[in-house]
Amino acid sequence: MIASLRPTLLFPVSRTSTEANRTGSWRFVRPVYRFKTAPCSAACPAGIDIPTVEMLASRGQIHDAWAHICRENPFPAVCGRVCFHPCEDACNRAELDAPIAINALERYIGDAGLAACSPLVSPAAALLQREVAIVGAGPAGLAAGYFLTQLGISAEIFESTEEPGGVLRWGIPSYRLPKAVLAAEIDRIAAAGVKIHCNRPVNPDTLAEMAARYDAVLVGAGLAAPLRLNISGEASIIDGLAFLKQVQAGSAPVASGEVAVIGGGNTAIDVARTLLRQGARPTIVYRRRRQDMPAFGHEIAAAEAEGVRIVELMAPVSAAADGNGVRMTLQPMRAAEVGADGRVRAVPAKQPPQEMRFKAVFSGIGAGVAEPWHRPADEADAIRLSHCAICRGTPTVGYIGDPVTAENSVAHAIGSGKQAAIALHALFTEGPEAVAPAVDRCRVGPGPALSMEIYLNGERSRRNGRVVTFADVNTDYFLRAERCAIPALAPAAAANGFEEAVATLKPRDALAEAARCFNCGICNDCDNCRIFCPEQTILVGEGGRRSVDLDYCKGCGICTVECPRCAMDMEEESA
C-alpha cells in the first residue's frame, strides 16, 4: 500500500461550547419572578406578611420570624392569644387538608420574642421634627405610637387609668391573655421610644391644650360606655364590662349559683367564662340564633365546652330584683328575614313570655363611645380612611380604634394605628393630597389591610397585589399532613381557675406546622425552577434572589408550572 493512502487514526474533537447558540432568540414567552399576595396576609387586619413569617419559622429562624411580624404588628404574643385569626379562614391549605395554625404559630413566635427579650428595631425612616399626642393607651393608641416612632415621628400617649393596655388589660380576662404577656409587649413599645403617661385623663379642654402643643393629636379612647338594654328593671342588671374590670382589679364580688349573661358577642362570652371560673353556673341568653352570635366561633365553642349554657332566641323584656335574686321575663323569638345589615332578624314568636330566675344577671351586649369627642363629628372636614379619620385644620386631630373601625378587634385596632401613622407621615411630608394615595399604595392585595414594609419601600413593595388562589398552587409538591394539635387545658380544668386555657406550641410542633405552609406567592428557595430548567438558565443572586438568563431561556415555561407557590408568571415577549 502506498504510504500516503494508509489511514491515519485521527478523531475530530469539538473544542467550542454550545454557548455560542443564543437559544434565547427562540423564545416568544418569558418567565418572570413575580411574587404575589398570600390570601392570609390580605385577610390579616394588621397586614402581617404571613407566608414569609412561616417560611422563616419553618427554618427555625424564629427571631427573624418574630422581627418580621413586628414590622407590621408589635403585639405578636398578644395577638397570638386573642386575635380572631381571619387569616386561617383565608388559608389556601384548607382546600388540601386543614388551614395552617397561623394564630398558634404567631403565639409561639411572639413568646420566643418575649423569652429572648428582643428589642423592637429602631426607627426605619428618617427623623422628622414632629410630635404627636395620642389619647388612650389601648391597642390602637399603642400601635399608632409604635408606628409613628418607626416613621421618625415622636409619639406621647396619655392614658386615663393607672396602667396602659386599654381593653387588652381590663376587658380581656387573664385566662385568655395573662397580664405579664401584655405588660412585656407594652414595655417593649415604650423601650422603642413611645412615651406613655398614665393617670392622665383627657377632656375637651386638655385636648385643646394638647392640640396647641403638638403637631397632631390622635384620639383612641375606645368604647367605654356600656350599651343599655332599655328594659324595665335594668338597674338590677350588672354591667358586664364593669364586672370584668372589677375582676381584673380583684375587687369583684364572687358570683355563685345560676347566673345569666345577656348578649351574644365576645363580651358576653368573656363575662360568662369569668363567672364560671368564680364558681357560678352561667347561662348566656341571646335574642337571635346561636349561629348569629357575633362572638368568635372558637370562643363560643370553648365556653360551651367549659360548661356555659346558651339559650338562643330569647329576648329580655323586664327584670325585677327581689331578696333572692333577679326574675327575668323573656320573650321567645323566632328567626325572620334577613335585615338591612345582612343578618337574620329575630322577631317575637307567638308564644307567651317566660320567666326565669337567676341569682344575678349580667349584661354583655357591647359598648359605645363614652364621650361625643371620642369620634369625629359627622360634619367635620375629615380625610376618612378605612380604619381611621384625620380631621384637617389647626390642629390636626385624628381618630383611631373601635369608634372608627367597621369591625372591632385587636387586629383592626392595630391596623387603625398603623393607618393613622402612615396618614400623618404622608400629611407631614407631602401634604394632605398625598394621604389617600399613600394609604392606597401600601395595601396588602386588595386591602384594606396595610403594610408598613410596603410604605417604607421594603421587599414587599415589589410584590404583585394579586391574591394567590388554591388553583394557583402546584399541589404535586404537598402531601396531606395533619394540622398540629393546639395544647390546651381540659375544659373542666380550665373552668376551675384563671390559668391560661390554651398553651403555646412545642418547638417541634411549631416548626412542623410552619413547614405545612404553602408560602403562597413568595420564593422559599425550593429551587424547583433551577432543578427542572432544561437549559440551566436560572441564576441565583444575593440572598437567594433568582433570575433567568434570557440569553439562553427558550421560554418552555416549566419553571413557572413547577413553582409550587405561584411566584412566577409567563409573559409574552414584546416585539
Partner 1 sequence: MSESINADRGLTYPGNLGCPGCGASIAINHALKGLGEKTVLVIPACCFAIMAGPYPMTALKVPILHTAFATAAVSAAGVRAGLDMQGDTETTVVAWAGDGGTFDIGIQSLSGTAERNDDIIFVCYDNEAYMNTGVQRSSATPYGTRTTTTPGAGWKRTRKKNIMEIMAAHRIPYAATANIAFPDDFIRKFAKAREMRGGTRFIHVFSSCPTGWGVASSLAIKIARLATRSNIFPLYEIENGTDWTLNLEGDLPVGDYLGAQGRFRHLTPEDLEQIQQEVDADLALIQERVAATRVRKAHLKPET
Q: Are strands 131-135 and 216-219 parallel, antiparallel or unpaired?
A: parallel
Q: How far is the CB of 543 from partner 1 (least distance, A)?
A: 9
Query: ω into residue 564 within 30 of 0, thus cis?
Result: no
Minimum CB–partner distance for residue 22 and partner 1 (Å): 7
Only segment of 17-25, 179-187, 277-285, 372-380 that touches partner 1 (CB under 8 A):
17-25
Stretch that binds partner 1, among 7-15, 270-278, 340-348, 365-373 (CB under 8 A): 7-15
| Among candidate residues 402, 500, 504, 505, the one with its CA nearest the CA of residue 172 | 500
**Candidate ranges 364-372, 404-412, 461-469, 550-558; the one touching partner 1 (CB under 8 A):** 550-558
Q: CA triplet 226, 229, 235: central angle to 5 degrees?
A: 80
Minimum gap (Å) between residue 196 Cβ and partner 1: 44
Q: Interior CA angle at 107 toward 444 and 499, to 5°?
A: 140
**Per rule CB under 8 A, is residue 572 in the interface with partner 1?**
no
Q: What are the cell numbers at 413? A: 385596632
Whose Cβ is closer to partner 1: residue 87's or residue 553's?
553
Strand 195-197 relative to strand 354-358, pairing: unpaired
- In this structure, the strands spanning 344-348 and 257-262 are unpaired
Peptide bond into 164 cis (omega under 30): no
Whether 487 contacts 503, CB under 8 Å: yes
Residue of the chain from 19, 205, 322, 341 that contacts partner 1 (CB under 8 A): 19
Taking Cα atoms as reference points, which of 28, 151, 53, 34 lies closest to residue 110? 53
Binding window for partner 1 (CB under 8 A); candidates: 99-107, 152-160, 298-306, 526-534: 526-534
Q: Cβ 536 to partner 1, closest distance in Å?
A: 4
From the list 21-29, 97-105, 414-422, 446-454, the region that binds partner 1 by CB under 8 A is 21-29
Quick check: 532 binds partner 1 (CB under 8 A)?
yes
Rounded distance between C-alpha atoms, residue 312 and residue 440, angstroms: 42
Strand 360-363 to 354-358 pairing: unpaired
Q: Is 462 in the site for partner 1 (CB under 8 A)?
A: no
> Is residue 22 part of the contact set for partner 1 (CB under 8 A)?
yes
Number of residues near partner 1 (by CB under 8 A) = 38
Query: Does position 562 bind partner 1 by CB under 8 A?
Result: yes
C-alpha atoms less than 13 angstroms from C-alpha of 345 in its C-beta half-sphere: 9
Among the listed ranges 125-133, 172-180, 374-382, 528-536, the one in contact with partner 1 (CB under 8 A) is 528-536
Q: What is the DSSP letter of 37?
A: B
Residues in the chain: 575
Q: Kindly state whether residue 20 participates in binding partner 1, applying the rule CB under 8 A.
A: yes
Residue closer to partner 1, measured from CB, 311 or 539: 539
Per CB under 8 A, 550 contacts partner 1: no
Q: Which residues bind partner 1 (CB under 8 A)?
A: 12-23, 26-27, 476, 531-532, 534-537, 539-542, 547, 549, 551-552, 554-558, 560-562, 570
